[in-house]
Structure 1
Amino acid sequence: MLGFSVYLNQPLDATRLEQMRMMADAGFTGVFTSMHIPEDDPHQYLTRVRKLGQVCRELNLQLTADVSAAGMQRMGVDIKDAAALAELGLTALRIDDGVPMTTIAALSHLMPIALNASTISPADVQALTVAGANFEHLEAWHNYYPRPETGLDADWVLAKNQWLKAQGFTTMAFVMGDTDLRGPLHVGLPTLEADRGAQPLAATLNLQRRLLVDKVYVGDSVLSSARCEQFKHFFKDHTLQLSVHTTTAQLLATTWHNRPDVARDVVRLVEGRQKIHQLAPANTVARPLGAVTIDNDRYGRYVGELQIMKTALPANERVNVVGQVAAGDLALLPWIDSNQAVQFIKEDDGN
């Protein structure tokens, strides 16, 4: 499951609504918001929550709110009142520390409940079990970390997630966006420190495939339209878009596929040798990470072999360099698995 964030310190204006529609169209199905509200502004936040809930219903998005019993009380909402929560449009709650496990267990029979992944202990699991919690509705959400150098260590998250999943929890983590980074620091809201400044799709795949994360949310609200398109094509069409600098139009005209046997150093796109049967040597220069190459006539039966470099390789008089994956997409290369569809997208040389 993929999600994004909408914060209530600003109204849901036309721009934000259009961004939400864009994310929903790209395949995102969840929205996260925070209801930790200022002491002097509970009614305005309540109005905004209702509006957000209405929009999420219209777009078929699940709405999870970060809540505390005290914050809900300031808005006049009982955290244990399922009807009142549903009226706000909330479909799940992320419970702040301090709510009794008996209350959490009772709520877990009404809706999905997310707990703080970093603080869940064996004693908490025991208390939830004794209280008869519905573990199918219990999730463990990692925090995001606005301050640089405070994000989590990947090995620690993996170990924690292994334990959490053994207890029956669904796991969740955040990646940062690539536009409109949330203040006051404006340096991203990732769970992992290694993901600060990372390519959002690459960070998402790392969390899902290596760190046992079931749900990934964008912490900084939305993505740019280009990154949103990448998510849409990957998760809906199973096609990985790579921006490239190239003058070879043929690269852009075809959807290519990695071979079923994955090479260590390069991505081997099978259609190259099917489509290209003759090619004179040209631009046989060094092949940096992300170089796109085609084997020329000097390579005999390999002529037409189309590759993307997963590591830097020296020049080869039998290999023409015909393009370069844009720097922002290099992090995606390790995620080109067996038979993965790849689509090259032209990136202007001035970008």
Structure 2
Amino acid sequence: MKRRLGISIYPDHSNIEADMAYLDTASHLGFSRLFASMLEVSGSKEETAAKFKTILKYAKDKGFEVILDVAPNIFEQLQISYDDLSFFKELHADGIRLDVGFDGNKEALLTYNEYGLIIELNMSNDVAYLDNILTYQANKPFLYGCHNFYPQSGTGLDYDFFVNCSKRFKRHGLRTAAFITSSTATLGPWNINDGLPTLELHRSLPIDVQAKHLFATGLIDDVIIGNAYASDEELESLSKVNRYQLSLRVDVNERNNEVENDIITHNQHQRRGDISSSLIRSTEVRKKYAHSPNSLHSNEDPFQFGDVVIGNDCFGKYKNELQIVLQPHTDPRKNKVGQILEEEKFLLKYISPWSKFRLEKL
């Protein structure tokens, strides 16, 4: 399943010119998913339609898939029937996200709506909610899952809980989504906004590291910025994230020779299948650079977790093999050529047997 980046807008708290400018920038950088909140609607049905229709049409013309976040009170307030979703189709939405669930049969019936609207479910519950819906023979191609975001500091999901919830959807092959947070954006659905991530551990991390983490879990297809408006710099950094394999940044050693720097950044790395708990070994590169000399340097001190090392001329057949250190050790046959960026070191646990990964020069 192809992976996507997304943004969020809050038409009841913003102006259309700012939303359009945000959509322009994001579209140019390859974003293609839009989360639009209707939870704060306060006007009439006609006023709401006028407000949302223009901006959602603009988003559609920019290539975004548009999902509207709705709740039962919106249906009551705007006098919309669950048996007739034409209102949302007229707004140019591709689907609706049900913030609150029903009995299972209702959700299943909604997936057969005559307008082909996607029905997105709340993923942030570790219960058999989805299984119940599927027993009612839901139309799976029109069923998505999306986690909540959490505006209040300390209330985001714990990682293990997030994994359990996500697996319930992923094992059925459904498209999944979760939120990351901008450190500069201030707009959300409520008057509390300590950031809008799904995972609590993401609240203080750089935005691109948050995205790398969600993609690395293999559980999330669409990564959406929860708050608006992320800065141009944040959008650009996200646009450069490799969505399909982990790419880690390395603070390289100034003493490196040309061969070492080339090994680090200009190769597709793959961890050996017969793994060790001490090292991540990328062994194919040693064959490519078997005849390239590599003199000794930077190996006097013990290597630490997250250090990147390459075998030197004293390492026989293992010369020019690249390794990432998982357990501290010393070995004069290796040169320390860099270290994984501190805030990305926790991602090393996602490099499994046969995992493909890239390294980028900081």
- CA distance 1:117–1:343, shift in 2 (3 Å): closer
Shift of 1:92: 0.9
Q: Secondary structure at the match of 1:174?
A: strand
Cα 1:59/1:105, change in 2 over 3 Å: same
Q: Deviations over 1:13-64 (max 9, x none)?
A: 26412332145x2xx4422121012425877754442233223322322111
For 1:85, the equivalent position in structure 2 comes to 88
Find the partner of 2:285 among 260, 271, 276. 271
Distance 1:80 1:119, change over 3 A: farther
* Partner Cα distance (1:281, 1:129) in 2: 64
Residue 324 (structure 1) shift: 2.2
Moved more, 278-287 or 332-341: 332-341
Alpha carbons of structure 1 residues 330 and 63: separation in structure 2 relative to 1, 3 Å = same
- The equivalent of 2:155 in structure 1 is 150
- AA aligned to 1:258 is H
- Counterpart of 2:143, as a letter, is L
The equivalent of 1:299 in structure 2 is 315
Q: How far, CA to CA, are the matches of 1:299 and 1:92 in structure 2?
A: 58
Q: Deviations over 1:262-309 (max 9, x none)?
A: 443224253245226322211113322322222222223322222232
Question: Secondary structure, in 3 states, of the residue corresponding to 1:299?
Answer: helix
Residues 308 and 336, structure 2, Cα contact 8 Å, conserved in 1: yes
Question: What is the aligned-residue identity percentage?
Answer: 20
- Cα 1:15–1:290 shift into 2, 3 Å: farther
TM-score by length of 2: 0.75
Equivalent of 2:226 in 213, 219, 229: 219
Partner of 1:202: 212
Contact 1:176 / 1:197 at 8 angstroms: preserved in 2? no
Matched to 1:33, the amino acid is A
Tell me the C-alpha RMSD between the 2 structures: 3.7
1:111-130 mapped onto 2 (5 Å cutoff): 111-118=117-124
Distance 1:266 1:29, change over 3 A: same
* Structure 1 pair 127–114 and aligned structure 2 pair: CA distance change class (3 A): closer
Q: Is the 8 A contact 2:181 2:202 kept in 1?
A: no
Letter in 2 for 1:205: F
Structure 2 CA distance for partners of 1:43 and 1:16, relative to 1, 3 Å? farther
User: 1:277 and 1:135, CA in 2 relative to 1: closer, same or farther beyond 3 A?
Assistant: closer
Task: Spell out the pairing of 1:152-191 with structure 2 (5 A cutoff).
Answer: 152-163=157-168, 170=174, 172-182=176-186, 186-191=193-198
Runs of at least 5 residues in structure 2 that lack an aligned partner in the other structure: none
Provide the residue aligned with 2:98 in structure 1. Answer: 95
Deviates more, 1:81-90 or 1:213-222: 213-222
- Tell whether 2:9 aligns with 1:7: yes
Q: Is the 8 A contact 1:105 1:128 kept in 2?
A: yes
In the alignment, structure 1 residue 255 sits paired with structure 2 residue 260: no
1:102-142, Cα deviation, whole Å (9 max, x unpaired): 65444311222123334696689658856x64344333433
Cα distance in structure 2, aligned partners of 1:121 and 1:43: 38
**TM-score, normalization by structure 1:** 0.77
Query: Which has the larger displacement, 299-308 or 72-81?
Result: 72-81
For structure 1, the residue ranges without an aligned partner over 5 or more in a row are none
- Alignment partner of 1:151: what SS? coil
Change (3 A) 1:118 1:339: closer
1:257–1:269 CA contact under 8 A, matched in 2: no
Q: How far, CA to CA, are the matches of 2:109 and 2:130 in structure 1?
A: 14
